[in-house]
Structure 1
Amino acid sequence: MPEEMIDILNSDGTPAGYSRGRNEVHAKGLWHRTVHIWAFDTKGRILFQLRSHLKENNPNLLDTSCAGHISAGDESRNAAIRELREEMGVKKRIEDLEYLFEATHENVLNDGTYFDNEYYDTYKITLNDEESEHLVPQPGEVDDFVWMTREEFLEKHAKNPEKFVDHPKDYGWIQSIQHT
């Protein structure tokens, strides 16, 4: 399988006009675009994925419901729909996505050998009861899914932040959600 190609950005988020393979992107810390999708069920609970124990970065940590790179030439919403299908086994339409915000993330991982410099679009999606009960974790990407209320997340994250992938803007948004 060929390596995923990713469009490169300048540090200000503007397109740099070229693409590179995923490995080079992270070896050199090239800026690129990704998507984060937060899934909620009909009761208002938030879905977290437990990253696969096989992942190069952040294995066995709780993370965004679903996330991924935007492939070269693709668009954010299309990438979000693709990631939902691949990582969760959920088929949704672009119209089902609620755009929330754009954020940046700079991180150095794996003893300084992996650089993650990204602009990411964040979406919210609501899963119906059938979808919520029949999630299919993508082997090698996701080991499990965990549902939490907003309050459960805030309590667990406050007590054990090391069990979560660090997403300050996302978690700030979750904190701001009004209790229902």
Structure 2
Amino acid sequence: MAEEMIDILNSDGTPAGYSRGRTEVHAKGLWHRTVHIWAFDKNGRIVFQQRSHLKENNPNLLDTSCAGHITAGDNSRNAAIRELSEEMGVHKRPEDLEYLFEATHENVLNNKTYFDNEYYDTYKITLSDDEAAHLVPQPGEVDDFIWMTPAEFLEELAKLPEKFVSHPKDYAWIKSLQIMQK
């Protein structure tokens, strides 16, 4: 199977005009685009994925509901729909996604051998009761799903931040939800 190709960005987020394989992207710290999708149930609970224990980065940690790279030539909405299907077994339409914001993230992992420099589009989606009850974790990517209210998440994050993949901009957004609910 051919390695996933990813469009490369300049550090200011503009297209660099070429693509590279995922391995090279992270070995060299090339800027690229990804998506984060936060899935909620009708009661306002958020589903967090527990990353697979087999993952190269952040194994066993709690993370966004689902996320992934935007394949070369694709766009963020299509990538988000693909990731929902692959990682959660949820089938949605691009118009079902609520665009929230774009953010950047720079991270050095795995003893300074993996560089993750990304611009990411963040989306929110609401799952039906049936979808929420029948999530299907993608083997090798997701071990489990954990439901929390925004308040429960923020409390857990304050007590045990090491349980979560670090996404400060996403977490600030969740905190703003909690403030609005008060």
Q: TM-score, normalised by structure 2?
A: 0.98
Displacement of 1:135 in angstroms is: 0.1
Displacement of 1:179 in angstroms is: 1.9
Secondary structure (helix, strand or coil) at the match of 2:154 reads: helix
Displacement of 1:15 in angstroms is: 0.1
Unmatched runs of 5 consecutive residues or more in structure 2 = none
Secondary structure (helix, strand or coil) at the match of 1:135 reads: coil
Distance 2:124 2:43 in 1: 14
Give the CA RMSD over aligned residues: 0.6
Look up the match of 2:152: 152
Distance 1:81 1:25 in 2: 23
Displacement of 1:33 in angstroms is: 0.1
Secondary structure (helix, strand or coil) at the match of 1:80 reads: helix
Unmatched runs of 5 consecutive residues or more in structure 1 = none
Secondary structure (helix, strand or coil) at the match of 2:181 reads: coil
Displacement of 1:114 in angstroms is: 0.1
Look up the match of 1:130: 130
Distance 2:137 2:56 in 1: 17
Structural mapping, 1:83-94, within 5 Å: 83-94=83-94
Look up the match of 2:54: 54
Look up the match of 1:76: 76
Distance 2:53 2:2 in 1: 23
Is the counterpart of residue 103 in structure 1 residue 87 in structure 2?
no
Look up the match of 2:10: 10
CA-to-aligned-CA distance 1:119-174 (integer Å, 9 cap, x gap): 00000000000000000000000000000001100100000000000000000000
Q: TM-score, normalised by structure 1?
A: 0.99
How many residues in Structure 1 have an aligned counterpart in Structure 2? 180
Distance 1:10 1:123 in 2: 23
Displacement of 1:88 in angstroms is: 0.1
CA-to-aligned-CA distance 1:60-116 (integer Å, 9 cap, x gap): 000000000000000010000000000000000011000000000000000000000
Secondary structure (helix, strand or coil) at the match of 1:90 reads: coil
